[in-house]
Chain A
Amino acid sequence: MKSDKKKGAKDISESGKVNPKQPASHAGHHVGQKPEWANGLRRLYDSVVEEPLPDSFKALLSRLDDKSR
């Protein structure tokens, strides 16, 4: 018998956060009331900000000094 699909299908986002599919607030998005993905936008940005700086940037910074005649 093939009784698959026993687990794994439904355990998304148990963090208790709001699921984007839920019609939380279709009302107009004011400045004060941000859509749910707004936080994600910030996270996208911050995730890059928090990355360690690649060596190429350090190299560039030290080259800048040489160039300043």
Chain B
Amino acid sequence: MSESARTPGEKADFKRELTEVIPHLRAFARGLCGRPDMADDLVQEAMMKAWAAQDRFEPGTSMRAWTFVILRNAYLTDMRRNRFRGEYDENVAERILTAPAGQEEPIHLADLHRALLTLPPERREALLLVGAGGFSYEEAASICGCAVGTIKSRVGRARATLSSMMEDGNIPRRSTEDASAHRAILQELDMVAGGNGLASKTR
């Protein structure tokens, strides 16, 4: 209430910046949860939360990092409500994720995405932030609300797991196998959501 209200100009700036990061939010969300439609729902949820909380955004700081925190929290909340049941549709993924026609990839992107989805969520998000989103370890640590060393270790472990999966070709094929992976993910999430990380944007 007594917060400094935003001027119309600031609101316009906020909206422009928010609009600019939508593609990145979609990419991050799709990496977090396998289903493109659910990922987009998640992004819209995050956008509305970001809009409602815009007074807390410090102009001049990274909109992408700020909204990623919101997206991440929305994802964790939804995961705990069991909204994403690991319904990973291979055909959809295949269609969405493969490179444009004519560009054969040495590594099948759908395989990589599937492998990515089997990682524990903290490692997956750490790898997404650093390895795909191009955030520094420091930025990723701030987004996840944990120490830089923790992020480095999560990225390292995620890379090691993915490397061995990709090299051995040992990637879960069917959603039945994903189910067990997903149960493990949910268990880990309870730990994550229980205390660490989450919403600890206190600085």
A interface residues, Cβ below 8 angstroms from B: 12-15, 17-21, 23, 26, 29, 35-38, 40-51, 53-54, 56-57, 60-61, 64-65, 67-68
Contacts and interface: CB of A to CB of B under 8 A. Distances in A.
Contact of A61 (B19, B133, B162): B19
Given A43-B105, A47-B99, A50-B23, A38 B44 contact: no
A64 B15 contact: yes
Contacts of B23: 48-51, 53
Interface residues of B, number: 42
Interface stretch (B76-84, B108-116, B138-146): B108-116
B9 interface: no
Given A43-B105, A47-B99, A35 B166 contact: yes
11 contacts: A21-B169, A36-B107, A40-B105, A40-B107, A41-B132, A44-B97, A44-B116, A45-B128, A45-B132, A51-B23, A57-B43
B27 A49 contact: yes
Given A36-B166, A49-B24, A53-B22, A41 B131 contact: yes
Given A21-B169, A40-B112, A44-B112, 5 more contacts: A41-B112, A42-B134, A44-B97, A57-B47, A68-B11
Interface of B: 11, 15, 18-19, 22-24, 26-28, 30-31, 40, 43-44, 47-48, 51, 97, 99, 104-107, 109, 112-113, 116, 127-128, 131-134, 156, 159-160, 162-163, 166-167, 169
A56 B44 contact: yes
Nearest to A46: B27
A67 B48 CA distance: 10
Given A13-B104, A13-B106, A44-B112, A37 B163 contact: yes
Nearest to B27: A48
A30 B96 CA distance: 31
Contact of A44 (B43, B47, B113): B113
